[in-house]
Amino acid sequence: MPEGHTIHRLARCQRADLQGRVVTTSSPQGTGDAPVRASLAAARAAQELDGRRLERIDAYGKHLLQRYEGDLTLHVHLGLFGRFVRRPHPDATPPRPTCRLRVDAGDVAWDLSGAVASTLLEPPEEDALLARLGPDPLRADADPARFTAALVRRRISIAAALMDQSVLAGVGNVYRAESLFAVGLDPFTPARDLTPDEVTELWDVLTAQLRDGERAGKIVTVPADEAGGVPRSKLRGRDRVQVYRRDTCRRCGGPVRQQPLTGRTLWWCPACQPARSSES
């Protein structure tokens, strides 16, 4: 599932192409034979938004929000299989039948497919959505105090807490593993047992990692001084991460352990992220 850095990068790119412009919207999948429920919602959105000005595009965690004139917001959540594709010559590239929604500005279009949500929200619905989310480290209005307050109330492990979007918006499985590794935290430490310094460090690490991912368009969590002389931009595959989906820790060479947690596989290095003693 795309994590927050991907959604913020999409929002930035779409602002350059679409923001402030009158767009044409269509939904080939939603008007095809036996459309699924999600594509029906996209078809209704396309009908309502067609010919309107796209006034603003925002990202919040894993949610993309396209705000149109008339106080209408298109809410997109990509889920596991959703993706946006930029079409620089839309006239020469008709949308595929699987395209759930096309937003076309004439000289460029963006095609959405496979998303779990592509629905219109009224202002109260948008407010309710955002109220359920924790702070997003990539947003200028992010308040790390909300992150701290959410952790001190939770007995669950910090690894479980990081996957709770009401605690922190935008973090997924890769950044969970890589941020906990960077801070040296045992992932099974109860969230409320983290020290204030550890919470601050975790917030700062996550913010830096997400920003790097947004700029690069991919997740690279290996520090420059641990890249073996290879520029971070040139790292490929699992060499870009420390523990996620690795058999051995990139830093110490020891075995990486894995375990299902919160519906996803957790990865960690027990040597670099030692369990806390009962006295600590």
Kindly list the catalytic residues: 2-3, 62, 264
Quick one: CA dihedral 204, 232, 269, 61, positive or negative?
positive
Does residue 252 sit in helix, strand or coil?
A: coil
**Is the backbone of residue 253 left (phi > 0), alpha (psi -120 to 50) or beta?**
left
Contact 39, 100 (CB under 8 A): yes
Collect all residues with Cβ–Cβ distance below 8 Å to 268 and sequence separation of at least 6.
Answer: 159, 177, 180, 181, 186, 187, 243, 256, 257, 258
Phi and psi torsions of 100, nearest 5°:
-80, -35
C-alpha to C-alpha distance for 43 and 35, rounded to whole angstroms: 9
Burial of residue 220, with CB atoms counted within 10 A of its CB: 0-12 exposed, 13-18 middle, 19 or more buried = buried
C-alpha to C-alpha distance for 179 and 170, rounded to whole angstroms: 13
